[in-house]
Amino acid sequence: MNPAFAIEYLTCRFISPQQAVNRLGDLDEAVALLKIYHRFFPQEFAASKRRVISRADDLYATLVDCLELASKHLFEIPDYCFDGWQNEDLPLSYIPIEPILGEWWNDDIEELMPLWQVLLILIGAWEPGDMENELFRTAANVQQQWQDKVIDCDRLTRLCRRASVPLCWLNLALLTLDHNTGNPWLDASYECPITGVEWTTRNVRCLRKNWLEAQQACKQIAQLDEWLNKDAARIHSLLALWSQALTARPRSYAQPQ
Amino acid sequence: MALIKISTDGVEFEVKDDIARDDQRLREALTPFYPEMANAEITRLEQDGKLIVTMAKRAGTKGFSRSDALTVLRNATETVNPAVLMQDKLRQMEERGELDVRKLMRLQPKIRRAMNDGQKQIEEVKASLKLLGEGRSVAARSIPVGF
């Protein structure tokens, strides 16, 4: 063998102990995902389990297959996770939990759905510029009258149980706007991401259940928004329910006159 | 027969005179039972025609001496970090086309063990190097060749 070639051959194969530990760590995480593949998609896994791994790309191709199946059948894996897969950039360490509804505070509020705008007015987080819109004008007027009151979420939840569809989902909409539902897909944000959820069977099952619940919640919120948007007069029903859940603003939080 | 007295714990016993009179043989005879007697101070006296040998442990330096450290280093077995060995094994399997998904899954416990042991060894090496780096320099007794 040519000495220069021999040196190059050996140099390519030399790795430091820390590099070896890191590479084994990557493989350990990859195997955790392969177990999910085996557990949740046994037929597809059976077809690929004999796939020979002769290069790193062979393993990554199998992992991409698994992630695509997970994204299709379990919960959405964001597209950006696949962009760099050839660069060994797959989400192997933790399950990526992408906020379903994004972050309303980073969007143009006037572009948000009317229900969101009405709720933001009612909680005093936004003052509409467009007072021509009956929904917003009505909401802004009553909010002025309720300056000394705040919403009691527990009371609203109890009242919503007795309300008719789709108004019964008003508390769900408020909690979703507040990222406080207890569902990671609805509560996560880019500012406060939910990280560290490993690829285990238990976590995947749990997130799948949460995903279905989050999808259902989004449908219910969309239904309430549609109902409100169809007839501006319906805001009075919403405000009637809202007003029953108001409570006196704690003195320490009273706004200066 | 000579009487041997171990001064540290007051134990007394008899050994043959020819052994008792020879420091080296006496130490060799006692070291398996009293390792600290390997460099004991030995005093002999005769009373009524009987040889009495008193052995006292010699006070040594506290802690780990330089010679001890060198001995440990010389005697240490050479090892390759287990993570490097496992990574090398996997690479060879890859090159021979012997690694598939199923095999990789079966190897996971070994991979994890090699990773953990390898990381532990890295930490130990780092700690040893840190200690060596922090060690106080000591003047050599002889001038190294070339100076």
- On whether both A83 and A128 belong to a single domain, the answer is no
Residue A15 has its nearest CB partner, among B84, B97, B115, at B84
- In whole angstroms, what is the distance from residue A65 CA to residue B109 CA? 24
> Which residue in B has a C-alpha nearest to residue A48's C-alpha?
B101
Residue A98 domain-assigned?
no
∠A113-A119-A121 over CA atoms, to 5°?
A: 105
DSSP conformational letter for B100: B
A39 touches chain B (CB under 8 A): no
- On whether both A212 and A161 belong to a single domain, the answer is yes
- Per-residue three-class SS string for A127-188: CCCCCCCHHHHHHHHHHHHCCCEEECHHHHHHHHHHCCCCHHHHHHHHHHHCCCCCCHHHHC
**pLDDT on residue A50:** 62
Residue A243 domain-assigned?
yes
pLDDT per position as a tens digit, A146-185: 988 999 999 999 999 999 999 999 999 999 999 999 999 9
CB pair distance less than 8 Å for B87 and A31: no
Kindly indicate the confidence band of residue A38, based on its pLDDT and cuts at 50, 70 and 90.
Answer: very high
**pLDDT on residue A43:** 93
The token pair at A212 is 């279905």
Average pLDDT, chain A: 89
pLDDT per position as a tens digit, B125-135: 999 889 888 87
- On whether both A60 and A33 belong to a single domain, the answer is yes
- On whether both A140 and A16 belong to a single domain, the answer is no
- How many structural domains comprise chain A? 2
- In whole angstroms, what is the distance from residue A114 CA to residue A237 CA? 15
Residue A92 domain-assigned?
no
Kindly indicate the confidence band of residue B121, based on its pLDDT and cuts at 50, 70 and 90.
Answer: very high
Residue A52 has its nearest CB partner, among B83, B90, B99, at B99
- On whether both A119 and A234 belong to a single domain, the answer is yes
pLDDT per position as a tens digit, A59-73: 888 888 999 999 999
- In whole angstroms, what is the distance from residue A223 CA to residue A95 CA? 30
Sort out which chain B residues have CB atoms less than 8 A from A13's CB and list them.
88, 91
CB pair distance less than 8 Å for B100 and A51: yes
Give the end of a domain, one of A87, A114, A148.
A87
ipTM over 0.90: no
- In whole angstroms, what is the distance from residue A87 CA to residue B41 CA? 69
Residue A52 has its nearest CB partner, among B100, B105, B125, at B100
Which of the given ranges, A12-21, B10-19, B67-76, B114-123, has the highest pLDDT on average?
A: B114-123
Can you spell out the DSSP letters for A18-79?
HHHHHHHHHHHHHHHHHHHHHHH-HHHHHHHTT-B-SSHHHHHHHHHHHHHHHHHHTSPPPT
- In whole angstroms, what is the distance from residue A40 CA to residue B2 CA? 82
- On whether both A215 and A162 belong to a single domain, the answer is yes
A245 touches chain B (CB under 8 A): no
| Mutation for B interface: A14, A16, A31, A59, most B CBs within 10 A | A31
- On whether both A42 and A72 belong to a single domain, the answer is yes
- On whether both A16 and A130 belong to a single domain, the answer is no
- On whether both A67 and A191 belong to a single domain, the answer is no
- In whole angstroms, what is the distance from residue A201 CA to residue A43 CA? 17
**pLDDT on residue A82:** 79
Kindly indicate the confidence band of residue A249, based on its pLDDT and cuts at 50, 70 and 90.
Answer: confident
Question: Which of the two residues, A22 and B28, has the higher pLDDT score?
Answer: A22
Using the structure block, give the residue that is written with the tokens 């007839």: A231
Residue A9 domain-assigned?
yes
Helix axes A170-177, A114-122, angle to 10 degrees: 80
The arithmetic mean of pLDDT across residues B24-49, rounded, is 82
A29 touches chain B (CB under 8 A): no
- In this prediction the pTM is 0.72
∠B128-B130-B136 over CA atoms, to 5°?
A: 105
Kindly indicate the confidence band of residue A27, based on its pLDDT and cuts at 50, 70 and 90.
Answer: very high
The token pair at B97 is 């086309």
Can you spell out the DSSP letters for A184-246?
HHHH--SSS--------HHHHHHHHHHHHHHHHHHHHHHHHHHHHHH-GGGHHHHHHHHHHTE
Give the end of a domain, one of A24, A55, A87.
A87
- On whether both A70 and A11 belong to a single domain, the answer is yes
CB pair distance less than 8 Å for B83 and A51: no
State the nearest Cα–Cα gap between B94 and chain A, in angstroms: 5
**pLDDT on residue A187:** 96
CB pairs < 8 Å spanning A and B? 76
The token pair at B78 is 């050479």
SS3 B43: strand
- On whether both A108 and A79 belong to a single domain, the answer is no
B9: pLDDT strictly greater than 80: no
Domain that holds residue A134: 104-253
Q: Residue A124: which region, alpha, beta or left (left: phi > 0; alpha: psi -120 to 50)?
A: left
Kindly indicate the confidence band of residue A49, based on its pLDDT and cuts at 50, 70 and 90.
Answer: low
Residues 86-125 of chain A with CB under 8 A from chain B are none
State the first-to-last Cα distance of chain B, in angstroms, to the nearest integer: 57
B41: pLDDT strictly greater than 60: yes
Kindly indicate the confidence band of residue A37, based on its pLDDT and cuts at 50, 70 and 90.
Answer: very high
State the first-to-last Cα distance of chain A, in angstroms, to the nearest integer: 89
- In whole angstroms, what is the distance from residue A136 CA to residue A118 CA? 6
Residues 112-131 of chain B with CB under 8 A from chain A are 112, 114-115, 118-119, 121-122, 125
Give the end of a domain, one of A54, A87, A120.
A87
- On whether both A64 and A132 belong to a single domain, the answer is no
